[in-house]
Structure 1
Amino acid sequence: MPTLRLVEPNGYSVPGGLRTVTPDRETQARADLKALAVEHAAQWADFGYHPNDYRILTDTPA
């Protein structure tokens, strides 16, 4: 199963931004991570964070 990881603009993983998903749950997990990016960016907006600068990385098991 792949693991999705939300990464902030400086390359760090966002706390709570790790999701191990099955293929049928991936779309919902990505939507949840995008919502988390909005929340996290709002918290750090004074430092120039914007939700569009966040990335969702996919880690697939070997």
Structure 2
Amino acid sequence: MPELRLIDPDGYTVPDTAQTVSDSAVDETRQHLLTEVAPVHAAEWADFGYDARNYRVT
């Protein structure tokens, strides 16, 4: 089973986003991290220039 994690623009794992998922849940989880979690995290760090479009999932 793959482990997915949301990576911020500086290359760090966003806290509490590393998770092991089934093969069938990879796309759904990736989409959730990029569309739901990244915007919230980026908004918290907007003063430092974070933008949700610059996040990635590995």
Does TM, normalized by the shorter one, top 0.5?
A: yes
SS in 2 for 1:46: helix
Q: Tell me which amino acid in the other structure corresponds to 2:48.
A: F
User: What RMSD, in angstroms, separates the aligned Cα atoms of the two structures?
Assistant: 0.9
Structure ranking higher in helix proportion: 2
Runs of 4+ in 1 over 6 A off after TM superposition: none
**Structure 1 residue 28: Cα displacement:** 1.8
Q: Can you give the 5+ residue segments of structure 2 that lack an aligned partner in the other structure?
A: none
Greater gyration radius = 1
TM-score, reference length from structure 2 = 0.88
Contiguous gaps of at least 5 residues in structure 1 = 58-62
CA deviations 1:12-59 (Å, max 9, x no partner) are: 1001111211111112211221111110001001110000111101xx
